[in-house]
Every structure is written in C-alpha cells, then in structure tokens.
Amino acid sequence: MSKWISAEKKMPREGDRCLIVIAWGDQRWVDIDYYDGKWEDGEPNWRNQLYTGGEVTHWMRLPRPPKEERDENNA
C-alpha cells in the first residue's frame, strides 16, 4: 500500500499521476493530478492551475488500474 510522501523530501517522476494534499493556510484537501516535473518559485508546478495559490505538501502515486479479465465462455 502506498504511503504519503513529503513534497519537501522527494517529488514524483515527470508524468506520474498522483494523489496530492494541497494546503492553503489552515485548510487541507486531497485531489488527483499529474506532476509535470517543473518547478516555479520553489514550489512544484502541477498541471492544474487551481493550485497556484496553495502548496502541495504531500503526494502518493496512484495504483495501476486492474487488468480486464477475459470471460473464457465468450473468448
């Protein structure tokens, strides 16, 4: 199972789709976004510009989606 990773200690690989924690003052919430690998003003640059005024404090990679199982009766 994945664990939260501090954005101060490590960043995801470019192109990783992540679950992120965004902080604005004393508010925190969770969202899903792609990391684009760039830095602006010392903060991670996430693709969704909604986070421009907030700070991504933690992240974790999303698990891979399940593989489709073939129905052997209809194969």
Task: Look at residue 73 and tell me if it is in a domain.
Answer: no
Q: Which of 71, 1, 24, 44 is nearest to 60 (CA)?
A: 1
Q: Domain count for the chain, please give it.
A: 1
Is position 50 within any domain?
A: yes
Length, in residues, of the chain: 75
Range of the domain at 17: 5-63
Q: Report if residue 42 sits inside a domain.
A: yes
72 within domain boundaries: no
- The per-residue DSSP string of 6-18 comes to ETTT--PPTT-EE
pTM: 0.68
**pLDDT for 11-70, tens place per residue?**
999 888 888 888 888 888 888 888 887 544 445 555 544 556 678 899 999 888 888 877
pLDDT value, residue 42: 47
Confidence (pLDDT) at 10: 93
Q: How far apart are the first and last CA of the chain?
A: 33
- Scan for tokens 């470019």, then name that residue: 14
